Structure 1
Amino acid sequence: MTQARRALAVVRVLERHPLGVRAAQLARESGLAEGELRPLLAMLCEEEYAVRPALGVYGRGPALDRLAAPGGHGLAGQLQRTLALARDSAGAAVYLGRYADGEVRITQMADGPATPPVREWVDFRAAAHASAVGKCLLTQLDNDGRADHVARHRPARLTPRTITDSRVLFSALDAVAPGAPVFDLREYSPGVVCSAVPIATGIAAGSLALSLPASHAHRLGAATETLRRKAVPVLLALLLTGAIPPDAPAVAEEAAPAGRPRPMPAPVTPETLRHLRRLFPTPITGGSAAAGGPHLVSDTAAAAAYLFDAVPDTDQPRLSLPLTFTSLPPGSLSTPTGLVVLGP
């Protein structure tokens, strides 16, 4: 998380300089030493958060515009791009998972002909005790959460290496250092080895995982180190979209109620605001008199709602982006103007 927050500081500087900024000034404004900045810039350019228009000059990249797309599609698309880069770098199938509604869920993955995915011969929801992604998520739960999970999903022996005693399992989970990878050494499937690292979102437990054929087990250590580095751009995307508040602790302390997104303010540049104004059929020109605090505005054409922050000193709204809420049936918020203030 520390590296992701440093990367966020660099992105904020890039947003303040739409025409580009030299590396020396970028280091001064971000508060980072040259040795800290160099690898972050390489990562930001690879992930397209930054571009290099000239030698020693950096500017904001197209990934920032992609993240601003309505309906959450921008975040999903950027995460998929990051997973594909991680797949190619690690030489393994890569998975993004989270613990939601009391279940292990694989939300996105990247595989290919040379990086085949795990064959889900047992539902991942019932195999958290054996899979790397499941165990990684369980490490982020408290004792009551773990006990509840194994009470609903009794640990079954899937291979001779599977841990089926919940006390032994919990002891193994407690022995994992915060932020350390978790491994599945042929515990879920005899032909597969896996690893996973935590992605604490500030809302729910998350993990980034990879899988390799057991015949490639000798590559697991190096691939896992690559995976840990690729957790940084995943966390950065979540920070930029407000899925993780900028001051969130590294480990989620309390999960949000199921199905209810938790909006978090996030700064936005004038360039991003101009970009998003083009996405609204009705121009955003001023705040509503009824909206004295943070409020949602609906865009019925996109069946989405957007969170605005209060700006006490001006009548211009400031969009807190890209916090979109898409569980809005088309037409349910229709008005003659197309915009609705949902509440302060």
Structure 2
Amino acid sequence: MQHGIKTLFLLFTLSTLLACSRLPTISSKGRLQTIAFYNTGNFFDTTNDPQTNDDAYTPTGARAWTAERYQTKLKHIARVISGIGGSDGPAVIGLGEIESRQVLEDLVNAAPLRRAGYGIIHQDMPDAQGLDVALLYQPKLFKPTQTETFRIDFGEKGFASRDVLQVKGELRGEPVTIYVVHWPEPAGSKAKKAEENRLRKAATVLRQQIDKQQTADENVKIVVLGDFGTEPRTPVMQEVLKATGRPNPSYKEELFNTHFLPYVNGLGSYANRNDLQMPDQILISKALLNGEAGLQYVRGSAAVHDPEEIKFLFGKYKDTPIRTYSGDIYIGGYSDHFPVYIQVRKER
């Protein structure tokens, strides 16, 4: 009976999504713009920071993080970003697991990103390893007007993680608020309760900020980019954050999880014991779905960027990301995550 209920729920979800997809679709007018998120997978510089636990990622550390290996990763990540959503690269992209401003400056100046002239929004955060979130943007497409970060109080002595990064600006001349998040990673089966509590705390802080935006303007256009450390169907995502797979614009308070349907269809951005999961997601407010003039989400554009060059094509790990390290063994890959993205266009 339990399996029957799950099957009925899945069928109901799919039928709801399909029904909503029959709402008026976006026209072919207007140039597509890509919005993306990429957890770059422990993107450290090579300098030891005495304030953080980055010792393994130094030339003399356990992972022998040399200048040569750093340069290889720069080239890899730059090449991946440049190909997301087309040859022009993303208009804006949130990044996870970036150690420092220097990493970001080296990244945007690496070929082939250099020609796009990406701007950088970054602030040091209280993560134990010193890994932060950041936002890159093409100045000709996105003009930031205000940046703020919000600390998450986990209520645990000695534990801290990344802040919530909020960036307000204009994308193709349209006001939009972008959040970039990286919630705490799963702590393992023995710490499920602590893990759930941390995720709920993080979701609550983000939801409070979104509520403020929607109270001031119920038609505010919001995009949330991140690694949520949990998948789309969990209570934390659907009940605490109010991010669902329902694109119906009538439910204005909800966020639409653009990666809900790809997740239901078995796609994923991260391999956990060879099981592809979807912790990386992009959420949008319903004002980006109402079909009115201005910036609108292109229905069906949500995707996982997984070209052949960044994943294993054969063997035990087939179709999973080629990471930089396996334990302390250097593989020379890209990241343990695939990027995710959506596309929007400005309707007249």
> Which is richer in helix?
1
Whether TM-score is above 0.5 comes out as no
> Which is richer in strand?
2
Quick one: higher RCO (CA 8 Å, sep 6+), 1 or 2?
2
Question: Normalised by the size of structure 1, how large is the TM-score?
Answer: 0.29
Higher Cα radius of gyration: 1
Question: Normalised by the size of structure 2, how large is the TM-score?
Answer: 0.29
